[in-house]
Structure 1
C-alpha cells in the first residue's frame, strides 16, 4: 500500500477541486484559513458525503462550496457540545442506578472481582470482564482509590502492578486482593461506559430479577430493549468523545424506537444519528426528555443541510 503524501494548504485546495468535491474557484481565503486548522482527512469525510448528496436525491445543492461543508462541520461541533450535556447526565444516572441495585443485592466490595459473580456469555468472558475492571481500577487516579490501594498493598507487604498504577496480569491474584476492599461506588466512575454496560448486563446470574432489570426499571427503559439502547448510548458517547463525524453517519449500534419520540422520528432513517440522539434523550430524567429533544431540533433547524444528514444516514 502506497502512503498518500501530506498535502500543503494549496495542495489541499487543488485536491478538493480535482475530486469535484466543490466547484473550482469557490474556495475563499477564509475557507483556506479554516483548512489550516483542520485535519484534512477528517474534512474529507464531510466532503465526500456532500459531493454525493445530489445523487441520493436528498438535498438540492445549487453550487457546491467549501463553505457549505464547513457549515456542516460546525453544526456537528455545536450538536456534539449539546449532546455531551445529555450524555453526562445519562451516565451519572446510569452509574448511580447500577451502584444502588448491585450493592443492595450483593457485597459492595470484592464480589465484582470474582468471575463466578458473572454470567458466562462466551468462553472466558467472566475472567475477561474482571481483568477489564481491574485495569480500570488501577488506572483510576481518584485520591480515595489511590490511597486505599496503597494502604491495602502495605498491609499485605506486596509490591505489584508497577507501583499500583497498572494492573499486572502476571500477579492477578495479588491485584484482586489489593483491590478487594474497594466498594463498587468508589470505582464505578473508572469504568468506561462500554465496560459499565457489559458489567450491568452480566453481573447477576439470577435470570428472574437480575440487577440490570432493576436498573432499566429505575431509568424507565423497557427491559426487552435495555441492552440495545445501552449499546446505542455507548456508541453515541464514543462518537462524541472522539470528535467523530455525526453528519451522514450510519450508526453501528442502532437503538429501537423510543416510544416517547415515535412521531418525532417519522421522516428519519433507523440507522441515522437522530435515532441515537432521541435514545439518549430517553435516558434523561423524565422532565428533561422533551426539552432536550426540543433543543436538539432547534439547533438542527439552523442549517437544513446539516439537519438532513443527521435525520438520514448515508447508504
Structure 2
C-alpha cells in the first residue's frame, strides 16, 4: 500500500563508509645523526653547535624531536622559519620535560595524601586490616578484584617493611593497611578508593579533601592517574589535547573558584587547576603554583594560552591564590 499524500516514509540512516585500505609500502630508511643534521640544515635549520646537536640527535632521536620541530616550520613546505636554531628545538623539548617534572611533583604529593586517606581514618574506625572485610566495599566482584590485587602485590614480598612483616608475624596472612597502601600504585589506590562503600569513601575522602564530593574525587583520581602515566612514559604535554579521562567541573560553593577554570577539560590547564584543588588542602598549592609559573615562563617558544590552555593572567585568578 502506497503512503497517503503528506505522509513521510522513514529515512534510511546513512552509514559511514569505511576508509579505503592503504596500498602504499613504507619506504623510509633510517639516517645517521650526521645525515639527519645535514637534511635539517638543507631545510633551513641553523646548526649552532654541531657537536652538541649531534649528541642530541644520538641521545634523543630525530623522531622524538620531530613534533617539537613543527613549532618552527612552515606547514606548507616543512622548511624552517628564518633564523631558527637547533637549540630552539632543544629548548622547547626541555620545557616539556620540565613541565612533566613539575606535574609529577604535584602527583606525588596527592598520591601520598591518598595513601594516608585510605589507611588512617578507616583503620581507626575498622581496624588495621579493614580491607579484607566485605562490608567495606560496594559490591562483591569489586571487593574480590581489590583483594586479589592486594594479595598479588604482597606475595612478591618486596621491600624491607613487607619482608619484615612476613618474617615476624604468622597472622594475619596479609599485612596492615598502611603497609599495603605503600605497595599500591596510584592507579590501584584510586581503584580501591572508588570501590569503597559510599559511607567509607566519604570518610576517607573527607579526611584530606573535605570540600570535594567523593564521587567527583573518584573521577579526578582517574584523570590524575592517566596524567601520571603519560608523564611516566615521557609523553608530550606541550600542545596536546588531553582527551582521556577529562576531569569534571566541580560543583558547590566551596569549589566555585576552581570550576570557572575548568571549562575546557581537554587542556592541560584544566588538569593543572584540578591538581591545585587537590593540593590546596594539604598545604602545597601555593608552592606548586610558583613552580608551575616559573616553568611556563621559562621558555620563549611556549605560548601557554595556545599550547596548554592557560588564559591570560591565570595566576591571578581566585583558583590560583
Find the counterpart in structure 2 of residue 139 from structure 1: 156
Query: TM-score, normalization: structure 2?
Result: 0.70
2:234 aligned counterpart, secondary structure: coil
Find the counterpart in structure 2 of residue 219 from structure 1: 209
Asked whether the equivalents of residues 140 and 190 of structure 1 are also in contact (C-alpha less than 8 Å), the reply is no
Q: 1:256 aligns with which of 245, 248, 255?
A: 248
Find the counterpart in structure 2 of residue 179 from structure 1: 173
1:136-285 equivalences in 2 (<5 Å): 136-139=153-156, 141-151=158-168, 155=170, 179-180=173-174, 182-204=175-197, 207=198, 210-217=199-206, 218-223=208-213, 224-251=215-242, 252-257=244-249, 259-261=256-258, 265=261, 269-285=264-280
In 1, Cα distance between the equivalents of 2:83 and 2:219?
A: 41
Which structure: greater helix fraction?
1
Query: TM-score, normalization: structure 1?
Result: 0.71
Q: 1:36 aligns with which of 43, 58, 64?
A: 58
Unaligned regions of 5+ residues in structure 2, if any?
1-24, 251-255, 311-321
Q: Summarize deviations over 1:220-256 as a string: whole Å, max 9, x none.
A: 4521421121112212222222222211122222223
* Closer/same/farther in 2, CA of residues 9 and 138 from structure 1, 3 Å limit: same
Q: Summarize deviations over 1:261-297 as a string: whole Å, max 9, x none.
A: 456x48x843122221221222224443134223312
Asked whether the equivalents of residues 76 and 246 of structure 1 are also in contact (C-alpha less than 8 Å), the reply is yes
230-239 vs 304-313, greater mean Cα deviation: 304-313
In 2, Cα distance between the equivalents of 1:15 and 1:42?
A: 16
In 2, Cα distance between the equivalents of 1:53 and 1:193?
A: 41
When Rg is computed on C-alpha atoms for both structures, the one with the higher figure is: 2
Q: 1:288 aligns with which of 284, 290, 293?
A: 284
* Closer/same/farther in 2, CA of residues 212 and 65 from structure 1, 3 Å limit: farther
* Closer/same/farther in 2, CA of residues 64 and 130 from structure 1, 3 Å limit: farther
Unaligned regions of 5+ residues in structure 1, if any?
56-60, 156-176
User: Which of 1 and 2 has higher RCO (CA within 8 Å, sep 6+)?
Assistant: 1
Find the counterpart in structure 2 of residue 173 from structure 1: none
CA-atom RMSD, angstroms? 3.4
Q: Between Structure 1 and Structure 2, how many residues are aligned?
A: 270
In 2, Cα distance between the equivalents of 1:15 and 1:261?
A: 47
Find the counterpart in structure 1 of residue 145 from structure 2: 128
Q: Summarize deviations over 1:16-73 as a string: whole Å, max 9, x none.
A: 578xxxx43424313333222214433234335x368979xxxxx7665543321111
